[in-house]
Structure formats: structure tokens, C-alpha cells
Structure 1
Amino acid sequence: MKHRIISAFVFSLFISLSGKFVTPSFGQDSEVSSVLLTVGGKPVQRDELIYLLSKSGPVNSSPGISREEFEENLDLFINYQLKVREAEAQGLDQTEEFRRELESFKETLIAPFLIRNSLEEGELRKAYSRMQEIIRASHILFQFPTNASTEDSLIVLKMALKVKGDIENGANINELAVQYSDDPSAQSNRGDLGYFTSLQMVQPFEDAAFNLQTGQVSDPVLTNFGYHIIQVQDRKPNPGQVQVSHILVRFEPKDSLQEANARRKIADIYTEIQKESTVWEDIVLNYSEDLASNQRGGILPWFGVGSMIPDFEMAAFSLSEIGEVSPPIRTQYGYHILRLEDKKPLAPFEELEESIRSKILRDSRSRMIQSQVVAVQKARYGFKEDETSVSRLGQELNGVAKADFNTQLESRSLSQSPLFTLKNKTYLAKDLADYMKDLEVRNIPKEGTFDYWYDRYVAHILSETEVRDISSGNKEYQMLIKEYRDGILLFSLMNKEVWQKGLTDSLGQVEFYRKNITNYQWKERVEAYVVKVLDPGQLNTAKNQLSNGGYSPSVIESFEENFRSKTPLAFQTQSGVLEIEDHPVLSQADLSKNYQELQLDGQTYLILIGQKFTPGPRKFEESRGLVIRDYQDYLENTLTQSLKTKYPVSVNNAVKEEAYLALNR
């Protein structure tokens, strides 16, 4: 929550006036020549102003920023810097709360700058691009024997290659699936997987399928299940999602008599549905055996391709008109009749982005992305492994338990063994042991102890190196961190010196009210009851109740009670002592009449008028909200003026002109 408060507050100070977008153009000059101003002797760089002003969105087609807007924003920027300077002087940047809050932002703020982010973004876009299509494919699975040897794996591979050849020579993959496939479902679906799209199959299978043309057969594809031979039967655009309701009549698949009875029953139901007088919801309630949906008209959740069993799914997507009913279809659950309730296209990327990201992070793509991240980091930062030393350490320590790792390292005199060099720094085996000390492993690693922890240590050091590199060398990230740092300080100072003080200083509020009483004056007011007629059919009823007198609490109370209980949506009312001048209805009314009917902007209003009040001062209690707001503005202005005296501001006009020109490129 505070994150949003800070950003909104900072942006309102510097961006709302300009209202135009400019692209940041960070200077490459020396620190001295890019100093825009000094605040109490502390330099402020030109690029900081450019960065903050560049974060507004475009509101018109005019490029850049006018001179007047630039000067206004510069004044606001100076006031902002004065407050940040004062927050630092008060030590607000040294508190534990400040440090904790800034650190909590850093992990989120750095994410878009990391190598992983760009690689992950690429996978998201690739997945969404594939989701534009659906593929129907058949496959044959060749599983490995338990505890398979290399020789066993080769035998499985040869069998897969033989079957691939048979298919290419004209054999039918579905017939071969019944004969050869180790997929248990092949005996019922003959290897036909139905339609699917991206992120519904394991990654190697998906990659292979989407790279095949219709009719083409894949080479053996290795997944965690074994080798697959895949043939694509069809490719077509993704139809999006549908919502259907259904009627289900169950039967036991192995009981032919029961199935025959179910088939006759679903046929009778289908005949009944064809009658014009039939109410779908009644049929569902009376006959559907799906207890989870029959109480709500048989409606099922929205679903897309690859989410339901193929026969049900194909029937659902074959319906084209809302309300259209399918003939009975058979699935493993029984006989169904479907009705189309609604359909919608594939959602935009922005709507699906987080869902796609979640799926990617849960499957093998996440490990693939991490491997790519490590490879890029190694290349970027000059990673060089001491292969001889690492190989020896693996041989010596892979069989050692984690708890004994450090002891064994020292007893075998291996602590100083080099692991790798990164950015001219050599990391040793003892550094790995230190890293391992406070970390736990949930599952026993399949790799040896050294190999398992070494890979994680390398990834950890590379990640730390990347973060340090971004923190010290990425100007945009540095600007973003400074924005949040200063925003937290600004929020803390304003909360302390202005907002909380304005809320809690009751004596100060009263004193401010007395000194500025002329700002808290009532205009001419009148007792009034204004009734806006929303239902013209109730107009005469309202007239009969209201037209016999003027403003009266008893009349108002009676009318309110009556219409709230009988016609709560027929009228909209307002009553009380109301200012006349700015009221949209009373300003047009004849205040000399106790009762009147007024037509305004196509709406009918019934108005009761009571006592009139001349202009005069508001009581403090009547003005407190306005007083607090104005008192806070007064405190902020007083603070700003005092800071201008405390911290003299000097502007470098030459650099100021450079900033203006940079914003108008």
C-alpha cells in the first residue's frame, strides 16, 4: 500500500503539471558538468529531473514540454529536493524502518533489469504465440524399463525409430499405438490425444508437436515418460473458450444392459428438449445425474481446448449459436446433452500473462530458463572454472554427507582448492563450505553432495554478481532506486511535519480557523427537500404526498418511509439546509414557492422549500474537514519556505538549459 502512496505522491509533485511524455536521455558528461542545482551545498544531477519528468504518459500529440511547464516543474522539483534534504538532516534515512522498507522494494524493482526477466519474457511471448493455434496429435509412448541401463535405453530408441519408419511407410499410427504404446490410455483412445495448445503438454513434447506440419511424424522425443513418436493430425486457430450446460445420464461402462438403458433414457430426454414448451433448467433438474451442476441449470465453468476429455470438448466447440443443443454424446462418464451458453475468443496477452507465467514457472521451462540465465551470466562476467580442481573435489567429496562436508574438506587439505574465477576473483572450496553451512536441503539430491551444492553455489555467486553489476552500472535502475529512496523520505517527512500534525493539532486547527474565518463562510442557504423522479409512473403518487405544504420534517419522514418500503427505486432524494448558488436544482428553482415541480435536463424534480438563511460564518465543527485540509497546506507551505532559508538553492542555468533541450528532443 505504501508503495502506491509514495509513487502517486512523487508523481503528483513533478509530473502532473507537464502532462507530456518524453524519453529519458541520460547525460554522459562528468558529474560536475551535469550538476543542475545545489541544495544547501549538496549537488543534484540534471538527469534526475529528466528522469522524473519523463515518467508521465502522453495526453496529447504535442512533443516535448513547453518552457512554462518546464519552469513550473523545476520549481516543484526544487521543493521536493529541499524536503528530501531536510529528511536526511533529521536522520530519517538512518532509521531501521527506512532501511527495511527500501530493501523490501529493491527485490521487486531490480527484477525487470535481470537477465532472467528478458528470457522469461521471451518464453511468455512464445507460449502466447503458440496459443493462437490448437493441434490435434496422436502419439506412441515407449517407456524405459525400471532401472534401465544405457543398453536398455538404446533398445527402446531403436524400437521407436522402427515404428516411426513404419508410419512413414504408410502404417496407421493409431493402430500401432494399440499394439506398441506404453501409454495406458492408448487402449481406449488409440493414441489420439485430441486437441491441445501451449502449456498443456510437457515442454519437449510441445516443442516437437508445434514444429511439425500436419501429417508429419517426429523423430523420437525424449521426456520424463520415455520416447514418443508424434504425428500431427490437424492444426487450426484457437477458438478461445466456451461455457456450456449439460445433462448427464450415467452408466457403468462394463455393464451393457445399463448402458443400453442410459442410451434410451438420454434419447427420450433429447426428444423432450425439442418441444417448444420445454424449459431446459427443469429438464436438467429432473433428469441430470451430475449432482454438482443439476441445481444450477447444468452450467459448467468456462473451459478452453485441452481442458476436457476430447469427445465432450469437440461436441462443445462444435456448437455455434448461443442456446444450441447437441445430440447425445458418449464419454467415459456417461451420455451427455450439451447446450451452448456463451463463447469468447482467446484473451489478450495482458490478461493471460500472469497465468502463463505461473504455468511456466511450474514446469521444465523454469529449469531451462535458469540454465540459460547461468550460461549468459558466465559469458558476461568472464566465468572460468578450474576444471581439474572441480573434478578432483567431486571425486573426493560426492559421497560425503553434508554434515561432514567441512570437516572432510579440511582433513583432506582441500579448503584452498580453487573452484572458479569470476571478474578477476577466485572462489575457493572453503567459500563453498561457508555457503552450505546455513542452508538445508529438503530432498536427498540425486547428484553427489559436491556436485549438488557446487551448482547452486555457482548460480548464487553469478546472481549476486549480476545484482551488483546492475546496482553499480545501470543508470536507469539507479534512478529508480533513488526515486523510491527519496519518495520514502519525502513521505516520512511530510507525515511527520504536515499530515499527522495537521490531523492531531487541534489547537493549531482552531487558531488557523480563527485567523482565516473569512474562508469559511456559508453562502445563502435554504431548508429544502429535493425529490428526483426516476419512475414517471410514480409521479402522481409523489405529488399527492408533497404538494399540500412546504418543507416539513414530518412530511419528509412519511414520504421516505413510504417509498422505501414500496418503491425503493422510484425516487432519489436530498434534504437539509443546502447552499443555493452551486446547487444544480435549487439554483434554478423559485425559492418563493413552498412547493414546486421543476423540469431540468429531461428529469422531473419535486421541491419543498422551507426557511432561508443569509450568508454567514460556518462554525468550526461545520468546517473542520476544510480547515484540516487548509491547515495542512499552510504547514507544507511554511515548511517549504523555512527550508528555502535553511538550505540555499543555487541553479546552474547552463545545465538547466541542457535539461530543457534534452526533454524536447
Structure 2
Amino acid sequence: MTRVRNLWAGVLCILGVAGLYAQNNDEVLFTVEGKPVTVSEFNYIYNKNNGDEADYSRESVEEYLDLYKKFKLKVQKARDMKLDTIPELINELAGYRKQLADSYLTDKEVSEDLVREVYDRQAYDVKVRHIVVKVPSRATDDQVEEARQKIESIAERIHGGENFAEVAKVASEDATTRLNGGELNYLTAMLPNGYYEFENAMYQLEPGEVSEPLKSNVGFHLVQVIDKRPARGQMHAAHILLRKKKNGQPAEGVKELADSLYNVLQKGGDFAQLARQYSEDSNSKDKGGDIGVFGISTYENNFEDAAYALKNDGDISEPVETSIGWHIIKRLDKPEREPYDQVRRRIQADIKQDDRYQLAKDQMIEDIKEMAGFTENTELLQQFIDSLDETFYSYKWQIPQGVSGTLFTLGGQDYSMGIFANEARKNTRKRLRFSKSAPLEASVMELYNDYVREQAMEYEEANLEQKYPEFGALMREYREGILLFEATKINVWDKASQDTAGLREFYEENKDDYMWKERADMETLLVITEDKKLIKKISKYFKKHSGEEVVEKFHSQETPVTYRSSTHERGDLDVAGINWKEGAISDERYDSKSNTAKLRKITKIYPATPKTLKDARGYIIADYQDSLDKEWIESLERQYEIKVNEEVLDKLIRD
């Protein structure tokens, strides 16, 4: 499949063909042999490739129209050549469709919704309190049920009128928050993996409301929302820290020193300089107090509130007390919230590592099943399960006889028990992975649910073109791209590389386009010596003698002398610094590190002459391909009728 991906990238670059899709009731811009190309299709291409420069001037629109007409002519020819019936190409396109459909479906119906959800939620900070009943990481079913019953009994107390915070103090198993009534301060999306239900409750409840029991990675929770506010976002700040304790002992005069430094700053003192001199934060003092960019709940409330209260860059807070000391905070920058398009991919990468992604995929499957009228015969499935024995977990298992009928219906299509049983038989690897101690029913249900999910996905993927017109456009890109590649390969690329007689004829007709510039033969001497007088002597001798003669006269074990011959065009870097005439010699170039001198001499100059076919073969083949392509287009223009709706075209022009 790499070939199509690469070729289509080239097609897009050359023709600007991307995202071709039509809308209902589109006006037709032009036709090729009666096949319509709509305005929306052309507009998408034009805007895609011009971006901000899509000015819809007549010149630019007509230029793109000409390109697209040529593209459509080639695609029409490919169809007439029956290239769209070649099994290899059909399979190649089917493979691409499957690959694209899988990612497109999850992106459109799962990922995109989750990304937007996170982004919208990040516009608000939510202050919550909670009550936790923990569940061990490897809890038994009985332990889970015991925890569930406990959280439900606590929920009954709160719904019965007891104060949430007071109940949290005695019933919550979160030692960190229990004493302050379960308060967690302000939070914002997205919460860590395993807390999606918690996050949902946090954003769906109104202040004062309490959630039903919900599950997280640590156990069961009840959540109460205390407050919601517009998100504070991020802050870039610096601080000067004066610690309350030094060497474990209370320090004296800390507040007084903080006040004194604040007064100095109020009179124009240099914050960064004072931070380097006085701050006791070893991580930031050498950076002028810069603590970088941070968000809510990073630091203690007093520090955070003081930092976010600063209205302008450069504003400085009065001394602020925290548990570790006194801080003077300077606002350096308040980054604006990034637009959705800029953060979309970053959020998308995060959610794909979060359990919410799988939960949303599972919900998508349920939605597809409902939309497709899914029904199942649970009695038949149970008959199948009852007919099994432990050989189900081995290679020896054979499909039992006598269990048949429709197992489920999806999208109007019946799926028989025989088909599912055969899929289970073929899935030997998974059957062998099941624990023999696990109930047969649980193992079969896992296989069954996987099979239903696969069929639901295939059903949805089969209808993507109807549901998402842009997916149809994407598939048209690949379909027409494959056809264009094959047709061009046959009519242009293969012909240019294989038609030796045609290539020779093209060269003879255009040989003046492949000229050598003036060329010169050059000899280059390399002399290894520390004796610079010897180098001058060799240079003088080299003016009237060949490199070979120089080597014969001066080369020795103590003074190695070598030479080489080469040919260069005028203007080449290798001949820079030498007069362009026969016998011209360069100045000595001496490298003191290697004790090597380099001397160059032009020995012969050749006038400009045509390159041979062998010399310029690559350039000639490329130009021959261009020539063949041009001839091919001209023949297609004679073969196929193109009609442009000039009235519709004029509507596009904005001159």
C-alpha cells in the first residue's frame, strides 16, 4: 500500500486534488463525457490549495479549472481502459477503505466528541467535595459488592438530609480530605485516567447537588459540587520566597524582610536581581525567581489566589503567606486559552490513553446496534453454551451438531449460529488463552460480544459514505488517485523508460536543450610538507609541467606528492579562484594542521557542446515524460467532450 500512498501524495501536490465531495442541489461547473463536476467539489479543491490566497480572481480560478479538467480527463480514460476492474487494484482500494474507515469512524464518532467535551469543560473550574469507599486493586466480587453497599447506604443518609461534609468527616476513606469534609478544591478537565465518571458528575451537577454512587480506580465515590467558575487557565509568574524556618528552626524577621523587599520593589527595584539575592527557592532564584507556567491546584490556595489576582504583566503582589513562608509574586505572562484547532491533536492523544476512550467506543457500538435494529436470540446462544464441554478450550473442539438458527439480526441481515460457531472455531488462539477454570458461559460470551462488535463496526463502515459525505470524498481521492497512477504509468512513465527509439528521437530533436557549459580539464596536486619554500618551488615547476611530471620529480617518502585529473564546468566551485584559461594555476592553499598544500591547474578548455544521451539521461527522460503527458492530454481533449457552464463559472469570479 505504500506505493499508492506515495503516488497519491504526488498527485495532490501536482494537481491539488483533495477532499472532493458534492452537496445536494449543487450547480454543475463542467462535465466530462456527460459526467458532472459540481461547484462544491471545485471550491473545496481551490480553497484547500490556495489557503489564504484563495482570492477567486479569474486568473487563479481558471488556472485551477484547467488543472482539474485535465485530471478528470485522465480518470475518464482510466475507466475506459477498465483499470477499475483489475482485481489487484480493487483489493488495494478495499484495504485502504478498511484502514481509513476504522480510524475515521472512531475519530468522527468517538474521538471528536471526546476532544470537544474536554475542551468545553476546560472553560470552567469546578470545586468539589467527595466521599470515598475504597476497593482493593485485586478485589474479589464479594469485596466489590460490600463496598458498593456501603457507598449506597452513605448516599441514602445524604439524600435523607444529612450534611455531606459532616458525613464525609466520619464515613470517607480518603484520609487526605476527610477532616475538611472531603473538599478537593477546584479541579478542571481532564482528570487522571480512571476518573471519567467522577469528571462527568463534576461538570453535570449544579452547585449543591450530589451524585449517585460512581466508580473510579480507587473505589466508589459520592461527589458534591460546591462551586463553578470560569477557568483561571494558566499563569506564568516569578516569586521571591522567604522561608519561615531555617535549618528546622523558626526564623525571625521573615515578614519584616518581605515587607522591606516589597517596598524596594514598589520604588522600582529589580525583581529578578532581588530574587537572586534573597529568594530561598533554590529551583528558581538563579532564574530571577521564574517558576514557569502553572495552572490551578498547583500551589497552595493563598499563593494561587494572589497570583491570579494580578491583572497585568509586571504586577507584583504584596507579601503572601503560605505554609512554608512568605512570597512576593510577579506576574510575567498570562497565556490566553489556545483555540480548539491548536489543541485538538494534543487532547486527542491524551484521551486515547484514557479509559473514557474505550467507554465511548463501547457506547458507539451500542448506538450502532440500536440504529441498526439489533435483535438477538439469547435462548439459542444458551443452547449452544449448554452443548459445550472442556474441549472448547483445545484444538480438538468441533462445532456441536443440532444447534442452528438465526443468532442475531443487524441492519436487516441475519447472522446464523453456524457462522458464529465457525468464527469461534477458527479463533483457536483466543480459546486457548481462556482459563479452563473460567465458566464456559463467560468465555463464549466474550467471543460472542467481540463478534457482534466486529459486525456492528462493519455495518457502520459500510454506510460511511452516506453518513459522512467527506468520507466519500476521501475514498474518491484514493479511487481516482489509483486510477490516475495506473493510467499515467501505462501511457507516460513506462513508455518514457522503455521506448528507447522514441527517447532517442526526442533527444535528437531537443539536444540543444542539454548543453554542457564550457568545461575544463584540471589537475590537482597535493603536497605534504612543512617546507613552504619547497611548495613555491613545486608551484613554479607545475606551471610548465604536468602533474605526472611533478610527482616524478618531487615525490619521496619524506615529501609525498600526488595528483589527480578531473573535468569541471565553468562556474563550478572546484575551479573557483583560477583564471578561466589554459595553463592558469591557483595560489597555494596550505593547511597547517595537516601540513598539506593544494595546487590546481587548468590544462585544457572545451567549448560548450551538447551532452550525450547517456550524460543527460535522467533529465531527458523527465522531459520526455512531460512531452508524452502533454501529447496524451491533447489526445484526450480530442477524444472526450468537456462542457464548461460559463454562467456558473462567472458566479465564482470575484474580480
Contact conserved, 1:377 with 1:462, CA < 8 A, in 2?
Answer: yes
Amino acid at match of 2:628: T
When residues 240 and 208 of structure 1 are mapped into structure 2, their CA distance, relative to the original with a 3 A threshold, is same
Q: Is the 8 A contact 2:17 2:45 kept in 1?
A: yes
2:15 to 13, 16, 19: 13
Aligned partners of 1:161 and 1:219 also within 8 Å: no
Q: Is the CA contact 2:128–2:227 (under 8 Å) kept in the aligned structure 1?
A: yes
C-alpha displacement of 1:628: 7.8
C-alpha deviation, 1:651, in angstroms: 2.5
Q: Is residue 144–residue 153 contact of structure 1 (8 Å, CA) maintained in 2?
A: no
In 1: Cα distance, 2:652 partner to 2:24 partner? 13
Q: CA deviation at 1:342?
A: 1.4
Structure 1's 111 and 648: CA in aligned 2 closer, same or farther, altered over 3 A? farther
CA distance in 2 between counterparts of 1:364 and 1:414 reads 41
When structure 1 is superposed on structure 2, of 152-161 and 273-282 the one drifting more is 273-282
Asked if the contact 2:233/2:296 (under 8 Å) is kept, the reply is yes
Counterpart selection for 2:416 from 412, 424, 427: 427
Partner residue of 1:641 out of 623, 631, 642? 631
Instruction: Report if the CA contact (8 A) 2:8-2:481 is conserved.
Output: yes
In 2 relative to 1, CA 301–435 (structure 1 residues): closer, same or farther, beyond 3 Å?
A: farther
Match of 2:451 in 1: 457
Preserved contact between residue 374 and residue 408 of structure 2 (Cα < 8 Å): yes
Deviation at 1:458, TM superposition (A): 0.9
Find the partner of 1:487 among 478, 481, 491: 481
1:184 is paired with a residue whose SS is: coil
Q: Distance in 1 between matches of 2:646 and 2:201?
A: 55
Q: Residue 607 of structure 1 aligns with which residue?
A: none
- 2:256 & 2:402 partners in 1: Cα distance? 79
Alpha-carbon distance in structure 2 between the residues aligned to 1:182 and 1:70: 68
Shift in Å at residue 477 of structure 1? 3.9
Deviation by residue 1:191-229 (Cα, 9 ceiling, x = unmatched): 221211222262222222223333x13143312344434
Residue 318 in structure 1 maps to residue 322 in structure 2: no
1:280 and 2:272 correspond: yes
Instruction: Give the aligned residue type for 2:225.
Output: V
Distance 1:514 1:119 in 2: 60
- Name the counterpart of 1:234: 227
The 1:493–1:401 alpha-carbon spacing in structure 2 relative to 1, beyond 3 Å, is same
Q: Match of 1:148, SS?
A: helix
Q: Distance in 1 between matches of 2:328 and 2:390?
A: 63
Q: Percentage identity across aligned positions?
A: 20
1:129 counterpart residue number = 120
1:222 counterpart residue number: 214
Partner of 2:640: 650
Q: Find the counterpart in structure 2 of residue 160 from structure 1.
A: 155
SS for the counterpart of 2:22 is coil
Matching residue within 353, 356, 362 for 2:344? 353
- Distance in 1 (CA, whole Å) between partners of 2:81 and 2:316 is 69
The runs of 5 or more residues in structure 1 that have no matched partner are: 29-33, 39-43, 523-575, 578-616
| Aligned position for 2:557 | none
Is the contact made by 2:276 and 2:289 (CA closer than 8 Å) also made in structure 1? yes
- Most deviating of 347-356 and 503-512: 503-512
**Letter of the structure 2 residue corresponding to residue 467 of structure 1:** E
**TM-score (norm. length: structure 1):** 0.63
Structure 2 spans left out of the alignment, 5+ residues: 519-569, 572-606
Match of 2:601?
none
Larger Rg: 2
Which residue number corresponds to residue 577 of structure 2? none
- Residue identity in the other structure for 1:154: Q
Instruction: String of CA shifts for 1:307-348, please: whole Å, max 9, x gaps.
Output: 5565554443233333444534435x7776543321112211
Are residues 53 and 651 of structure 1, via their aligned partners in 2, closer, same or farther at CA, if it must alter by over 3 Å?
Answer: farther
Pair 1:184-2:175 in alignment: yes
Q: Deviations along 1:273-323, whole A, 9 cap, x unmatched?
A: 6535555267348754544x5554453443333555655544432333334
Distance 1:477 1:138, change over 3 A: closer
> For residues 22 and 497 of structure 1, do their structure 2 counterparts lie closer, same or farther at Cα, with a shift above 3 Å needed?
closer
Distance (Å, rounded) in 1 between the aligned partners of 2:61 and 2:311: 59
More off after superposition, 354-363 vs 70-79:
70-79
Q: Conserved in 1, the CA contact under 8 Å of 2:185 and 2:297?
A: yes
| RMSD over equivalenced CA pairs, Å | 5.5
Distance 1:661 1:330 in 2: 69
Match of 2:70 in 1: 76
Whole-Å Cα distance in 1 between the matches of residues 263 and 494 of structure 2? Answer: 70
Instruction: Give the letter for the 1:449 counterpart.
Output: S
Summarize the Cα distance change of 1:12–1:325 in structure 2 as closer, same or farther, 3 Å threshold. Answer: same
Distance 1:646 1:69 in 2: 19
Contact 1:87 1:490 in 2 (8 A): no
**Matched-pair contact (CA < 8 Å) for 1:137–1:234:** yes
User: In 2 relative to 1, CA 233–290 (structure 1 residues): closer, same or farther, beyond 3 Å?
Assistant: farther
User: Are the aligned partners of 1:133 and 1:236 in contact in 2 as well (CA < 8 Å)?
Assistant: yes
The offset of 1:131, in angstroms, is 1.8
Contact 1:130–1:197 (CA<8 Å) still a contact in 2? yes
One-letter code aligned to 1:650: Y
Per-residue deviation, 1:71: 7.1
Deviation at 1:427, TM superposition (A): 3.2
* Gap change, CA 1:219 and 1:389, over 3 Å in 2: same
**Rounded Cα–Cα distance in structure 2 between residues aligned with 1:424 and 1:22:** 32
Query: Quick one: which of 425, 428, 448 aligns to 1:437?
Result: 428
Give the alignment of 1:531-570 within 5 angstroms.
none
- Larger deviation: 136-145 or 625-634? 625-634
Which residue identity lines up with residue 481 of structure 1 in the other structure?
A: M
Identify the residue that residue 586 of structure 2 maps to in structure 1. none
Q: Are the aligned partners of 1:240 and 1:305 in contact in 2 as well (CA < 8 Å)? A: yes
Larger deviation, residues 231-240 vs 471-480: 471-480
Q: Deviations over 1:559-614 (max 9, x none)?
A: xxxxxxxxxxxxxxxxx99xxxxxxxxxxxxxxxxxxxxxxxxxxxxxxxxxxxxx
Residue of structure 2 aligned with 1:371, choices 341, 344, 362: 362
The answer to whether the 8 A contact 2:74-2:487 is kept is no
8 Å contact from structure 1 (residues 136, 193) kept in 2: yes
Q: Relative to structure 1, is the Cα distance of residues 67 and 354 closer, same or farther in structure 2, using a 3 angstrom cutoff?
A: closer
Deviation string 1:152-181 (CA, Å, 9 cap, x unpaired) is 6334312233135445xxx4x445433322
Contact map agreement 2:147 2:220 (CA 8 A) in 1: no
Q: What residue identity is the alignment partner of 1:280? A: A
CA 1:322–1:509 in structure 2 vs 1: closer, same or farther (change >3 Å)? farther
Describe the shift of the 1:103–1:320 C-alpha distance in structure 2 as closer, same or farther (beyond 3 A).
farther
Counterpart AA for 2:215: T
Deviations 1:528-561 (A, max 9, x none): xxxxxxxxxxxxxxxxxxxxxxxxxxxxxxxxxx
Q: Give the corresponding residue for 1:545.
A: none
Matching residue of 1:261: 250
The 5-angstrom pairing of residues 382-421 of structure 1 reads 382-393=373-384, 403-404=393-394, 407=396, 410=399, 413=401, 416=404, 418-421=406-409
1:196 and 1:306 in contact (8 A); partners too: yes
Residue 247 of structure 1 deviates from its aligned partner by 5.3
For normalisation by structure 2, the TM-score amounts to 0.64
